[in-house]
Structure 1
Amino acid sequence: MILKVWGPGWGCPSIDANSLILMSINKICGNHIIVDHSNITFDAIFNKIPMLIHGKKSIFLNINFIINHFKKQNIDSDTLTDFEILLDSESFINYICQSLYPAIIYTLWIDDVNNKECTRPAYAKNIKAPLGIYVLNRMNNGYKALLAGLFSLNYKALDINDQKFKDMVYENAIVCLKALSKRLEENEFLLGNPYPTKVDTYMYANLAILYYAPLKNAELKSHLLSLPNLVSYVQRFTQIYFNNTTDSTFDAFSKQESEWPNKKRDKILWGIFIMTSITTYAFLSGIIKIEYV
């Protein structure tokens, strides 16, 4: 199996929360999956990252589908977890996804300063030119629509930069951070187990993005930094599971496995893209004209 993800940046194992969740599950369960971030440009165009490839035909895109397929392959971070703890785990996962994740999106993608100076440069390093601007603009619009959907708002009518909307998003996230801090206390992992569970992958991924990103507007990050047990949690998790992001997760074997058929496919698609762009420009500029007889 090959897991295609957004690569590292800012000192964080991945610049994308969903990619980092899946990478964390893989690490917790023994690092059985090849993780590749070297050939993702054309997949990113169609919003297909993260992506799991199993065999020649099986491709999984949705994070929940990928996690379910992990389980079918006995890659399950909750194998040793009893039923009551599983219920708590799912409750906290939902809470993180509904309250903290939207604020991470707002911080990285909606805040203009953070978007231009932090988010876009990091993502651009993962995408081959000249497609970067197109991909990033598409992602930006996608995240705006996602935020509108999460808060049951009309996307076209939504003023995403409205201060009231920002305050609502951040207020929910701050309450969530405090709740996570209170539940964690001085434990190594959220639910008090001596080992991490699935909820830890969600918690770590979102906190790590917020902690490591060099944000200019760091209002939400300052709240995280004011909770020392959460800061220690992120640092500890990174040290245990991602101490060396150049290990076998991103080794030469990974590149060999992902190079074919991706390398040939990328060349073909790149050629098609260039020819299409040239032809379109020629028509629009009047260099090529079609005359009807």
Structure 2
Amino acid sequence: MPRTQPMTLEVWEGRWGLPSIDTTSLEVMAYAKFSGAPLKVVKLRNPFFTRTGRLPVFSHGSTILENPADIVLHFRKENHNADYELSPKESADVVAYASLVHSKLLPGILHNQWLDENNYIEFTRPNFAKILPIPFNYYYPGAFQREARRRLFSAYGLDHTAQESMMEDGFMSTIETAVHKNAVECLTLLSNRLGDKEYFFGQSPCFLDAVVFAHLAPLLKFPFPNSPLQNHLKGCPNLVAFIERILLRYFPPTPEGIVDEDEPFREKLKRNIGAALVAGSAMLAYAFFSGILRIQTQRRVDYPDINEMEEDYGEEEKVEEQNENQE
């Protein structure tokens, strides 16, 4: 693959002081910063028009990837490795802790953001509805919530039938308790492992730092109305300092009026026009099928030619004159 081809990453745009609102996007963005990968970041508000219909999407020439592990592996193949100084034991620890974050902490984060009723109604759904353009804001929040529920139950080895049974029988509270307990234990373990160090291994960040930052930064920064998990994170000052340190060093605030790694104007215009066309079509379809818009047809009236009208009128006058003469 020619080195001249740029590496591009399409991600969810940021809010609340974050470079992206999406955990997976943050994970790839952070590792790219840590490894020095020359990555062009394109910030979007809608995954519909991407190559895969999802975000993030990584592209390098003909290579298209969306799994963070695959993207990180691609960076390393291109000689952009943030873990090259780690010993074999440290590398094994990185894999173990990263797996712990994905299996124990992530379900708690998903529940906190998408399945906690208060958080979903008061924060998650309305804010994603603001970010997404019409009509996609009517579809994606619900779809993301269903995906979060599926992933949460799958993390606990429950199939689709068991999920429906537990939802119907009201056993969600049991799952919620287990999810929160595991997430809190994982946060405590991470806090103890970090200690008073700047990063988890050595003086520079590695893959584990990217994973932990990506999962904890939204949990810390999102203004949830109700979040015991967020409160527990705020009670771990070393983890809070860890998040703020990475944000300041690798994702400093953009001065007002300057666009940071945003998509080109032509690409943005094309996406906006496409979204507007789809939105307009959807709104017209909704109006038509709901009866708001009705198409009325009128019966055609064929008017006679003016010359024919004059001829007919002349014939009528002749008939009237003949009748008068006969009288």
- 1:40 is aligned to 46
Question: Does structure 2 retain, via aligned residues, the 8 Å contact 1:189–1:233?
Answer: yes
Taking structure 1 as reference, are residues 60 and 126 closer, same or farther at Cα in structure 2, changes over 3 Å only? farther
Instruction: Let me know the Cα RMSD of the aligned residues.
Output: 2.8
State the one-letter code of the partner of 2:121. Answer: K
- 2:33 is aligned to 27
Taking structure 1 as reference, are residues 246 and 146 closer, same or farther at Cα in structure 2, changes over 3 Å only? farther
Taking structure 1 as reference, are residues 46 and 116 closer, same or farther at Cα in structure 2, changes over 3 Å only? farther
- 2:217 is aligned to 208
- 2:182 is aligned to 172
Ranges in structure 2 where 5+ consecutive residues have no aligned partner? 1-6, 296-327
Supply the distance in 1 between the matched residues of 2:234 and 2:220 (Cα, whole angstroms): 8
- 1:115 is aligned to 120
- 2:129 is aligned to 124
Give the one of 192, 196, 201 matched to 2:205.
196
Give the one of 2, 14, 39 matched to 2:8.
2
Taking structure 1 as reference, are residues 40 and 276 closer, same or farther at Cα in structure 2, changes over 3 Å only? closer
Shift of 1:133: 1.7
Give the one of 250, 267, 270 matched to 2:273.
267
Shift of 1:195: 0.5
Taking structure 1 as reference, are residues 82 and 246 closer, same or farther at Cα in structure 2, changes over 3 Å only? farther
Shift of 1:121: 3.5
Supply the distance in 2 between the matched residues of 1:129 and 1:174 (Cα, whole angstroms): 37
Q: How does 1:250-261 map to 2 (within 5 A)?
A: 251=260, 254-256=262-264, 259-260=266-267
State the one-letter code of the partner of 2:41. Answer: V
- 2:84 is aligned to 79
Supply the distance in 1 between the matched residues of 2:255 and 2:49 (Cα, whole angstroms): 23
Question: Does structure 1 retain, via aligned residues, the 8 Å contact 2:233–2:240?
Answer: yes
Shift of 1:265: 5.7
Shift of 1:64: 2.1
Supply the distance in 2 between the matched residues of 1:259 and 1:23 (Cα, whole angstroms): 24
TM-score by length of 2: 0.77
- 2:149 is aligned to 144
Shift of 1:272: 5.0
Give the one of 226, 230, 236 matched to 2:239.
230
Supply the distance in 1 between the matched residues of 2:89 and 2:108 (Cα, whole angstroms): 29
Question: Does structure 2 retain, via aligned residues, the 8 Å contact 1:15–1:122?
Answer: no
State the one-letter code of the partner of 2:249. Answer: I
Deviation readout 1:148-203 (Å, 9 max, x if unpaired): 11111133334288221111000001111111111111011113x10011000111
Secondary structure, counterpart of 1:42 in structure 2: coil
Secondary structure, counterpart of 1:216 in structure 2: coil
State the one-letter code of the partner of 1:181. Answer: S
Shift of 1:135: 1.2
The count of residues paired between Structure 1 and Structure 2 equals 283
Give the one of 147, 150, 157 matched to 2:165.
157
Deviation readout 1:212-235 (Å, 9 max, x if unpaired): 111111211111112221111112
Secondary structure, counterpart of 1:156 in structure 2: helix
TM-score by length of 1: 0.85
1:134 aligns with 2:139: yes
Taking structure 1 as reference, are residues 240 and 161 closer, same or farther at Cα in structure 2, changes over 3 Å only? farther
Question: Does structure 2 retain, via aligned residues, the 8 Å contact 1:5–1:40?
Answer: no
Question: Does structure 1 retain, via aligned residues, the 8 Å contact 2:26–2:214?
Answer: yes
1:68 aligns with 2:73: yes
Q: How does 1:86-97 map to 2 (within 5 A)?
A: 86-97=91-102
The percentage of counterpart residues that share the same residue type is 28
Deviation readout 1:79-104 (Å, 9 max, x if unpaired): 22222111000000000000111111
Shift of 1:45: 11
- 2:107 is aligned to 102
- 1:16 is aligned to 22
Secondary structure, counterpart of 1:3 in structure 2: strand
Shift of 1:2: 1.6
Question: Does structure 1 retain, via aligned residues, the 8 Å contact 2:17–2:253?
Answer: no
